[in-house]
Amino acid sequence: MKLLAVLDLALDGVKVIRLGRYRDERGYFTELWRRAAFLERPELAFLKQVEFVQANESFSRPGTVRGLHFQWDPPLGKLVRTVAGRMLDLVLDIRLGSPTFGRALAYDMPADPEGEHQDWIWVPPGFAHGNCFSVPTQIEYLCSGVYNPRCEAGISPFARDVDWSLCERGLKAELDAIGAASARMSAKDRDGFTLAQWADDERSRHFLYRGP
């Protein structure tokens, strides 16, 4: 496994894992996941106690916005990558007591077959997660818990009380433009909680800040 870097994003605990590609005149090969290799690297120690139990794939048409989703039983972390197309990955801190509670960011993840690397983004439990798509896009993600529809909820990425000050302005402008153009969203996502509504819900106590 050719690990190039582990990048810390502005929300503590959210990471980007950058893997290199072995290239030649035919194209490239990259090793995306090998548990033993991940666990032997000290910079990936945050995954040591994580067991991935489910793998999902989705395809989204241009103008689609998904999320912001979270699950508390079992807690659900996600390791996500773009297979084809381009994804803006959206992450919101919902850990009560966190210094960045209510703050969100977007991370640009295009799939470039001519590029020298491939990114995963790790979104641990305690964060709401979503995506936005400007082109036809296929993504896949590994999950640290099995999906449980009885213990999941969502906050609308367009809720006015979500703080996007950590997000790059250009990426936030893209998200807003898609939202203003009547984004493709499920009714559940469009009508998701505001941040204040979720904080007032007793179920929000499932996500407490435990410190750095």
In order, the DSSP letters of the chain are --EEEEEE-SSTT-EEEEEE-EEETTEEE-----HHHHHT-GGGGGGTT----EEEEEEE-TTBEEEEEEEBTTB--EEEEEEESEEEEEEEE--BT-TTTTBEEEEEEE--TTSSEEEEEEE-TTEEEEEEESS-EEEEEEESS---GGGEEEB-TT-TT-B-TTS-HHHHHHHHHHHHTT-B--HHHHTPBPHHHHHHSGGGGG-B----
Q: Mean pLDDT throughout 10-34? A: 92
Residue 132 in this model has a pLDDT that exceeds 80: yes
CA distance 212 to 199: 21
206 is a catalytic site residue: no
pLDDT for residue 183:
75
Residue of 5, 9, 8, 28 lying closest to 18 (CA atoms): 5
pLDDT for residue 211:
80
Q: Which domains does the chain have, with CATH numbers?
A: 3-202 (2.60.120.10)
Range with lowest mean pLDDT among 25-29, 138-142, 208-212: 208-212
pLDDT for residue 182:
74
Q: Mean pLDDT throughout 132-146? A: 96
pLDDT digits (tens, 9 = 90+) for 65-114: 999 999 999 999 999 999 999 999 999 999 999 999 999 999 999 999 99
Question: Predicted confidence band at 61 (pLDDT cuts at 50, 70, 90)?
Answer: very high
CA distance to 54, 57, 159, 178, per residue, from 174 (Å): 31, 24, 16, 6
Q: Please tell me which of 1-5, 49-53, 76-80 the model is most confident about, judged by mean pLDDT.
A: 76-80
Phi, psi of 29 (to 5 degrees): -135, 140
pLDDT digits (tens, 9 = 90+) for 143-200: 999 999 999 999 999 999 999 999 999 999 999 999 888 779 999 998 999 999 999 9
Q: Record the pTM.
A: 0.94
Residue 212 in this model has a pLDDT that exceeds 80: no
pLDDT for residue 69:
97
Active-site pick, 107, 129, 141, 206: 141
CA distance to 8, 17, 38, 73, 172, per residue, from 167 (Å): 14, 19, 28, 29, 6
Active-site pick, 28, 69, 107, 206: 69
Q: Are 174 and 88 in contact (CB under 8 A)?
A: yes
pLDDT for residue 181:
82
